[in-house]
Amino acid sequence: MLLAQTHLLNGTRTKVNFKKVLGPLWVSVIFFLVALVILSAFRLGFVIWQADRVSTIHDFLSIMINGLRIDTSSLCYLFLPPILVTLLCYNINKGQALLQHFLMFWYTSSIALLVYLEVITPTFILEYDLRPNRLLIEYLIYPKEVFSMLWTGYKLEIFISLSMLSLTIITTIKLFKLSWIAKADTRIKYKVCISIVLVITLILGARSSLGHRPLNPAMVSFSTDHLLNDLTLNSSYSAAFAIKQMSLENPSSKYYGKMNQNKIIELVRQNTLSDIKDFSDDTFPTRAIRHASYSGKPKNLVILLQESLGARYVGHLGGLPLTPNLDKLMSQGWNFTNLYATGTRSVRGIEAVITGFTPTPSRSVVKLDKSQRNFFTIASLLKQSGYHTQFVYGGESHFDNMKSFFLGNGFSDIVDLDNFAKVDFEGSWGASDEDLYDQAHIEFEQLQKQNQPFFSLVFTSSNHSPFDYPDGKISPYDKEKNTRNNAAKYSDFALGQFIKKAKSSSYWQDTVFLVVADHDSRVAGASLVPIEHFRIPGVIFGEDIEVKSDNRLVSQIDLAPTLLSLIGIGGSTPMLGHDLTQYIPISKQRAMMQYDKNFAYMTSKDVTVLQPHKKARAFNYVEKKLIETTVSTDMSERAKAHVLFGSLAYQKQWYQ
């Protein structure tokens, strides 16, 4: 019996029996601890089984400690409903018989499910090198085929799983009966206090974070080995998270209507620069051989992705005089004056610049489940070519699932706030852009000394609400300090400081640089798609980059193939973007923009807009305004094919 000494009263030591104080809550405490031990024990077993991949103490501790966090969060979610019901009966002292049956069913079912999913995990890992995830859920759609497959090839596994399930149910029922206490021997005021504390604890435990977002797999990802990151989870959490992700992945055809799959492939292929003979693999229908325009020693590649920097903040593009350093770069490099972002979120910009993927009405592939590994990125191609691939960010890299996506798709090195050598100013989103560039410079110098070709994506954050930046760095454009304009000006100042260092560095002559925005800030307008708010700056520069102003219509998805061409890396890729080192006929110049559920396909002549469950509409884009005109069947089909392609390629996993 669990007893605790609490206080002395008239010289007599008073003892509290926590089992009687908690009453029907006691069984929840027991099962919470039992479930925690079960999940930890299975995880330890899997770590021992995979000891050749869990090769360091750091790996082991990361898996076990973060795993405990995941388990606690999972169980808080799982136990919250029965505990809320229990608290109701606990405070009114009624309904104990009904409560007993409910809790026995809930906890028996829950423990059985937890154990069952862990028991089948080794088989799943052997097959897919992952914990049970969306594949498990998708298989449930085809019970006949799946059960037939299991019975044919997995009889022993079925026997073990069912045996463990039966044993778990029997043991759980016995444990429940031993732990059950019908009534609590506690005053009502203490019951209320216990109830409040318990509910708050469960909510905080479920979130497992005091930040903007609750715990998610990205927060506990630490390795380029996807299995190690998966071992940190438990299989129930992995499956539940997959269900949540699947609910957010409506295909484009649900919004814009269907089109024959072969027609989609035909139309998107036609708009590339590749000949039909270059598409040789029907398994990956947009994969084609690309040849680099540069044939010398492969160069390093650095992409400086600018947070929320629309053309309206860039003097060289007719915007406010906030970016003198970028303006100077644009006059010294290959400057794109007619470049358009694919969306309005950072992860959409990352999607376009790093993968060349077309936008969809769904969330960015950075956050979707099926694209967390084996999804094409320029990092994966460059890693195969011997490059060190790196992401440098001043904040926490798990934000927006970036860390998980990058580690699963070619990035071998994540450098975020915790890894910075020095931080002079830390704002709401992490280290200032100056600190970011200082760290990036350190990384590049070290890699250059090692004679290691490298690709680095450097993502700024100072130009983000609430616009924190250090004092005394700029002459403010606005009187109030923390404004969008002042933050943009500071971010440009930090860029200028970095460029000065880079030009005198050991890596300058061997590196191609791109400065590009992820998107504009606060994209809004009365138009179906506010086209002007998708216009962003972009400039490629470096030792051997030709100085020119490029007025062609360019999309963010064109940048990745262009950069690979400039650094001398060819190969087979699934990207639909153009290599801008080549001649692009006006008929094939286009930009694609996703604005919530509206999709715009822009050419030099017009803009076709697709809306959910409506007919296509066409516009002339004149003086930053959309003037409606007659819809072209050819253009509406091209637009529809491109917006449907993304979802189709994602669902069928063509983009590898």
Active centre residues (catalytic): 346
Please list, in sequence order, all residues whose beta carbon lies within 8 angstroms of the beta carbon of residue 242, skipping any fewer than 6 positions away. Answer: 133, 134, 136, 137, 369
Q: Phi and psi for 607 in degrees, rounded to 5?
A: -130, 125
Report the residue count for the chain.
Answer: 656
Alpha carbons 183 and 241: distance in angstroms, whole number? 36
What value, to the nearest 5°, has the Cα angle with vertex 571 and ends 452 and 252? 110
* CB-neighbour burial class of residue 225 (10 A; exposed 0-12, middle 13-18, buried 19+): middle
Tell me the one-letter amino acid at 36: L
Please list, in sequence order, all residues whose beta carbon lies within 8 angstroms of the beta carbon of residue 476, skipping any fewer than 6 positions away. Answer: 483, 486, 489
CB 389 within 8 Å of CB 452: no
Q: Is 519 within any annotated ligand binding site?
A: yes
CA-based diameter of the chain, in Å? 96
Per DSSP bridges, beta strands 571-573 and 554-555 are: unpaired
Tell me the one-letter amino acid at 53: R
Alpha carbons 336 and 361: distance in angstroms, whole number? 26
Peptide bond into 470 cis (omega under 30): no
Please list, in sequence order, all residues whose beta carbon lies within 8 angstroms of the beta carbon of residue 260, skipping any fewer than 6 positions away. Answer: none
Please list, in sequence order, all residues whose beta carbon lies within 8 angstroms of the beta carbon of residue 206, skipping any fewer than 6 positions away. Answer: 73, 76, 77, 80, 214
Peptide bond into 466 cis (omega under 30): yes
Q: Is 307 within any annotated ligand binding site?
A: yes
Alpha carbons 655 and 646: distance in angstroms, whole number? 9
**Tally of CB atoms within 10 A around 628:** 12
**Tally of CB atoms within 10 A around 65:** 11
Q: Phi and psi for 516 in degrees, rounded to 5?
A: -150, 150
CB 375 within 8 Å of CB 581: no
* Nearest to 566, CA basis, from 539, 584, 591, 586: 539
List Cα–Cα distances, 474 to 9, 78, 492, 500, in angstroms: 67, 51, 10, 17
Collapsing DSSP states into helix, strand and coil, what is residue 315? helix
Per DSSP bridges, beta strands 334-340 and 535-542 are: antiparallel
Binding residues: 307, 464, 518-519
Binding residues for Mn(2+): 307, 518-519
Binding residues for substrate: 464
